[in-house]
Structure 1
């Protein structure tokens, strides 16, 4: 019963591993880097019926023989994998030498040779020292392993009576516990050089065909071989997630630095725009006409001037505003548009503004311009923008002949909304310049 259980264990675990891999592939996010997680290996080396972790077996002189093996491995994380190993070879020894204590053995058997038909085991392999902050792919890797499995072998013993099979034609099967260590050297993205050494503890005292005091036997296998990664992508076993995380953090910092640079440039552009606007609206003598349009600079304070900044006689007359006059102003308000976040009037607004300017010249009306914004952004910036936009409309009307002294430009920022600022439509209504004739 025990033999059947251990014979089926590697097959069952391998099937479970393959099924788990398929489920992992189905659930892998698209954005995850693709890694090679399956590999196969072949190796050859020296088999010896001895262990430094537990001494020799039942013969005083052990001999080295050729062994060979192969394995298939599934890398679960960069540091942990499951590996299904199989090895074959010969194990030899005799009693031609005494133990170091001087004791010799003479129990009838003088030598043995065991045909190791198979030693199959499922092992957990843990990678060591695979962390380097600045390297995403390591080139050298140390590892330890341990597991369990089943060995099948046929011992042959030599005695004074001759050579005979210990168990006849029967293949003995016993539980084995392998532990080992090794080093891997990455030759390229798909091939590794594998150097390893494992000690196999046998759950029986018949590996050498000799039973003595129930001292359980053991053997070791030192090997060199090649491991071949399967599938696309770099090997997960050599992937360093610590370094990859460092790279992601570095990329995030570079992105933040780039965004800061963009913000600084935007601030510089805004400062330049404010300077240009201040130059455009500069009124040194305070007569309401910008210097660039003032044909009579340095007029005394309080002097009533015309659209060109020159004094003229004030004629008081009764102001009569008709519905037609209000319609001209309403159309101008409806068509008025500015560049985004600027006080620059768009050309499509000129036609109706020209009509307002003609109306002011013809009927000598006074006009109040009130600039308003929505609640988006800092209050100080909104106040300045609303004032600049009202002044920009005033400057344009004056450039078309309107009397600057009869035009008042004021900014109220976000303080006088006519609609809710919680919707895009409401904010659009709140961004306006109101015209009031009087």
Structure 2
């Protein structure tokens, strides 16, 4: 019995270890995206598989009343074609072949038997588990359960205690019910590693060629093999597809599309804002151009753009170009009496020595000149001169200061400052020789020119 348990343990090792180490892929595995609610044609549903393994009459349901005490272990092989109708349900048509053997019948009349499976064909329902995950894009391992019904044909050969073999001589046919479990590991997008274990319940007691106790026979098949998905390589397998991942991918696509729309709207808003700014700038430019044609800084009624004489004093009458109109003036003549007033002022004019200070006895004559300028609106040019005593710069300054001193006094008496010009010439324009005292005295003068 212990030997049989060891054999069973070897057969189930792949399944048990796989179940213990069952794991899911992480998000690093590429999502096999199919739009939710797509037709079944979007998937690969057909597949074929081939595998090999061990056949034995031993099973976990062995009651101890089997026809033979010791179960043998032999090579088996199988193939199948499967149609995955739903993500978790498929129909599988399988073929199983090989040999089943055992030793020592319960009544010790037979030493062994060997049964050759001519065929074992069944149609089973395949239930895929854990192909839907809320944690990962795709499960690397898909556990499954199978159950179905099939027909088998076999030829048992027994060996008596005396060594004489007995062959049934014909193929025995029985129905059987296969029940199995296992898991598939995804090696690539279209290839799976298939590890499974199956128990077949035979509808008869002749599988071992010996009827003892009227118990139906059973046998087990543990296998490893490959499954190949049929169809276009761009389509995912329906059995391994995780619709939750596609839903998540669809959500991310919608989010990306929405973000694209938001970005496009932002770009459109920015463009509109840019267009508005450009329109505003164009309007400002237009307003500036209009202002250029309407602004009248000096208030003479002629816009600056056309004003050829900007800065005209307020109240001045101007022509169409903004220039003052000629003012009709009465011509005033300088009389001999006027010249006499000026000549008297020149005669009485004296300054402090080396200064521009006018002496007091010169002021009454200057008062008459001031009144003359007021009454007749004459213009007056004052030209200051010196002798050659002293430096050129000092003489030029002194001549200018004396002319300015006379202008200041006349303005203080009411004369129009704009009609009085004061200039200094220093020693550059003598009217007499500077070699004599009298000549130098004549050169120290201020000339009055009335006009």
What TM-score results when the alignment is normalised by the length of structure 1?
A: 0.53
User: 2:19: which partner in 1?
Assistant: none
Report 1:57-96 matches (<5 A): 57-95=66-104
Pairwise CA distance, 1:135 = 5.4
Is the CA contact 1:293–1:309 (under 8 Å) kept in the aligned structure 2?
no
Q: Deviations along 1:163-201, whole A, 9 cap, x unmatched?
A: 4446x3221111111111112222233332221110101
Pairwise CA distance, 1:30 = 9.9
Secondary structure in 1 matching 2:114:
strand
User: 1:40: which partner in 2?
Assistant: 48
User: 1:3: which partner in 2?
Assistant: none
Secondary structure in 1 matching 2:253:
helix
Pairwise CA distance, 1:268 = 2.4
User: 2:120: which partner in 1?
Assistant: 119
User: 2:225: which partner in 1?
Assistant: 225
Q: Deviations along 1:53-82, whole A, 9 cap, x unmatched?
A: 354632111110111111112222333221
Pairwise CA distance, 1:298 = 7.0
Q: 1:276 to 1:31 in 2, by over 3 A?
A: farther
Name stretches of at least 5 consecutive residues in structure 1 with no aligned partner.
1-28, 97-104, 284-288, 311-438
Is the CA contact 2:67–2:213 (under 8 Å) kept in the aligned structure 1?
no
Is the CA contact 1:67–1:88 (under 8 Å) kept in the aligned structure 2?
yes
Pairwise CA distance, 1:52 = 0.3
Is the CA contact 1:294–1:309 (under 8 Å) kept in the aligned structure 2?
no
Secondary structure in 1 matching 2:291:
coil
Pairwise CA distance, 1:212 = 2.7
Report 1:333-412 matches (<5 A): none
Q: 1:30 to 1:170 in 2, by over 3 A?
A: same
Q: 1:298 to 1:163 in 2, by over 3 A?
A: farther
Q: Deviations along 1:16-36, whole A, 9 cap, x unmatched?
A: xxxxxxxxxxxxx99987433
User: 1:358: which partner in 2?
Assistant: none
User: 1:157: which partner in 2?
Assistant: 158
Pairwise CA distance, 1:309 = 13
User: 1:246: which partner in 2?
Assistant: 248
User: 2:338: which partner in 1?
Assistant: none
Report 1:145-294 matches (<5 A): 145-160=146-161, 162-165=163-166, 168-233=168-233, 234-281=236-283, 290-294=287-291
Q: 1:107 to 1:37 in 2, by over 3 A?
A: same
Secondary structure in 2 matching 1:123:
strand
Secondary structure in 2 matching 1:293:
helix
Is the CA contact 1:118–1:152 (under 8 Å) kept in the aligned structure 2?
yes
Give the structure with higher Rg (CA). Answer: 2
The number of aligned residues is 264
Q: Does structure 1 residue 295 correspond to structure 2 residue 304?
A: no
Distance 1:170 1:305 in 2: 132
Report 1:134-149 matches (<5 A): 136-149=137-150
| Root mean square deviation of aligned Cα | 3.3
Is the CA contact 1:156–1:163 (under 8 Å) kept in the aligned structure 2?
no
Is the CA contact 1:133–1:246 (under 8 Å) kept in the aligned structure 2?
no
Distance 1:183 1:189 in 2: 16
